[in-house]
Amino acid sequence: MELKFYNTLSRTLEEFKPVAAGEAKMYTCGPTVYNFAHIGNFRAYTFEDILRRTLEYFGYKVTQVMNLTDVDDKTIRDSKAAGLPLNEFTQKYKNAFFDDIKTLNIEPAEVYPPATCHIPEMISMIGKLMEKGYAYKASDGCVYFSIAKFEKYGQLARIDRDNQRDGVRISNDEYAKDAVGDFALWKAWDADDGDVAWDSPWGKGRPGWHIECSAMSMKYLGDNFDIHTGGVDNMFPHHEDEIAQSEAVTGKKWVNYWLHCEHLMVNNTKMSKSLGNFFTLRDLLDKGWSGREIRWVLIGAHYRKKLNFTFDALKIARETLGKFEEFFKRLRSVKNAGDGSAVVEALESAKNGFASAMADDLNISMALASLFDLMRNINRIADENKLDTAGAEMVLDAFRNFDRIIGCFEVDNVKAEEAIPAEVTALAEARAAARKEKNWAESDRLRDEIARLGYTIKDAPGNVWQLQKN
């Protein structure tokens, strides 16, 4: 099956053809480590996780590089405010980031290069841009990239070159979208930088943000690689500037596929640190939500569509994952012998539906619809008492496989839960039967017996029960 992605560069759906057969090399703009990442940032990182897992599902060997921006205006400003050396300050947030991605079951990238460990590579790249005449040192001591020298400037963001303002220089990395101008490659030291500075042929200073991603991606992935990702807000100026620097140095195409994810919104506004309308992952964990419930919400909408964050969505995630848990439990409790033929058709249709949806530009809503259909079909087969142990195991195995991408089902965790002795389960079943007949005395007696064996039985509406080890 062919993989297709929407390439922002061409604004079309394109078949994925890697540079090296069977391999996928991707670069992902990572966090600026001056604070805890919020779940808007994690929408971008979970999208990238779904992308890498899908590539792996289709047999590609993935090499993913995600940078850690550990020097910029914000890290310097906040480390000073905290009275800590820059490295010590950013280390705390690097650790937090790695904890958070584990909580969200995001597969780790192969390389997490920190910017501060790659200053020589950035200086070397700026040197080449100077040699080739794309860069110049201005009277403020900073080195700038001259966008007028790079013909193709604007190719990604589709900026109208005629409207570009000549002579505008921007040393701040995060200038407004409409302010097109020469951007800083090397920023001259000033008093606000304190003791954060490196020597360079252009004087003491530090690199701009954009050069970081160009230098580090090329170091680990080569001059021309497959995929570059980020949130849509990274597209301009950050990614446009990355392309300009990289292609100016090599004289050839840098990245083949650009994938950008839309924003996580709150009441129709982008979730962002500066607007204060954000939740960190930790905020939600403190409120009692689990990593996999949060992950389910973040991955649930197509990556190119805006996703509105609500607590109702988390509630639905809890209910939905609970339904799948019950379903897996039911599959494990099947006792009928057989060859599994009753499930084959439903299973094949779900596997094809899932794979073709994910191959079609990561169409997760369609892929999940196949899984809901499968659950419904198998439940119907079980209701008709046609499900056998072989069929149940085939379905469980299929979900293990789907979970290589989805990362929320934890099919085998249910197994651990099910290691409850058969004797205890039989007592719980007898108790449910007694309750159905409103035989409360017998029900209480059975509950006490279950307790003596070290288990607590919890009831839920609809004569549903759950056993927990004490």
Select from 6, 9, 36, 43 the one that contacts ligand AMP (CB under 6 A): 43
The residue (of 259 and 450) whose beta carbon lies closer to ligand AMP is 259
Helix (H, G, I), strand (E, B) or coil at 461: coil
Tokens read off for 209: 């943000």
Work out what residue 213 binds among ligand AMP, Zn ion, none; the CB cut-off runs from 5 to 8 Å by kind. Zn ion
By CB under 6 A, which span of 28-36, 150-158, 214-222, 287-295 interacts with ligand AMP? Answer: 28-36
Evaluate whether 247 touches 253 at the Cβ level (below 8 Å).
Answer: yes
Is 255 a binding residue for Zn ion by CB under 5 A? The answer is no
Is 234 a binding residue for ligand AMP by CB under 6 A? The answer is yes
Work out what residue 264 binds among ligand AMP, Zn ion, none; the CB cut-off runs from 5 to 8 Å by kind. ligand AMP
Is 7 a binding residue for ligand AMP by CB under 6 A? The answer is no
Give me the sign of the Cα torsion angle 274, 276, 277, 279.
Answer: positive
β-strands 169-170, 182-188 pairing: parallel
**414 vs 436: CA distance, rounded Å:** 26
The residue behind tokens 């979730």 is 271
Is 75 a binding residue for ligand AMP by CB under 6 A? The answer is no
Q: Which residue is nearest to ligand AMP (CB)?
A: 231
Evaluate whether 468 touches 458 at the Cβ level (below 8 Å).
Answer: yes
Is 280 a binding residue for ligand AMP by CB under 6 A? The answer is no
Closest CA to 39 of 256, 246, 282: 282
Select from 52, 187, 206, 263 the one that contacts ligand AMP (CB under 6 A): 263
Is 32 a binding residue for ligand AMP by CB under 6 A? The answer is yes
**Residue type for position 216:** M
**130 vs 81: CA distance, rounded Å:** 35
R_g over Cα of the chain: 27
The residue (of 106 and 213) whose beta carbon lies closer to Zn ion is 213
Closest CA to 161 of 171, 151, 170: 151
Q: How many residues bind ligand AMP (CB under 6 A)?
A: 16
Closest CA to 451 of 418, 428, 422: 428
Instruction: Kindly report the length of the chain.
Output: 470
Is 216 a binding residue for Zn ion by CB under 5 A? The answer is no
Is 31 a binding residue for ligand AMP by CB under 6 A? The answer is yes
By CB under 5 A, which span of 102-110, 194-202, 207-215, 216-224 interacts with Zn ion? Answer: 207-215
Select from 24, 143, 213, 446 the one that contacts Zn ion (CB under 5 A): 213
Is 231 a binding residue for ligand AMP by CB under 6 A? The answer is yes
β-strands 264-266, 255-261 pairing: unpaired
The residue (of 182 and 212) whose beta carbon lies closer to Zn ion is 212
Residue 46 Cβ vs ligand AMP, minimum distance, rounded to whole Å: 10
Q: In the window 191-230, what residues touch ligand AMP (CB under 6 A)?
A: 230
The residue (of 196 and 213) whose beta carbon lies closer to Zn ion is 213
The residue (of 38 and 447) whose beta carbon lies closer to ligand AMP is 38
By CB under 5 A, which span of 22-30, 95-103, 249-257, 384-392 interacts with Zn ion? Answer: 22-30
The residue (of 27 and 455) whose beta carbon lies closer to Zn ion is 27
Is 259 a binding residue for ligand AMP by CB under 6 A? The answer is no
**313 vs 171: CA distance, rounded Å:** 41
Residue ranges in contact with ligand AMP by CB under 6 A: 29, 31-32, 40-41, 43-44, 230-231, 233-234, 263-264, 270-272
Residue ranges in contact with Zn ion by CB under 5 A: 29, 213
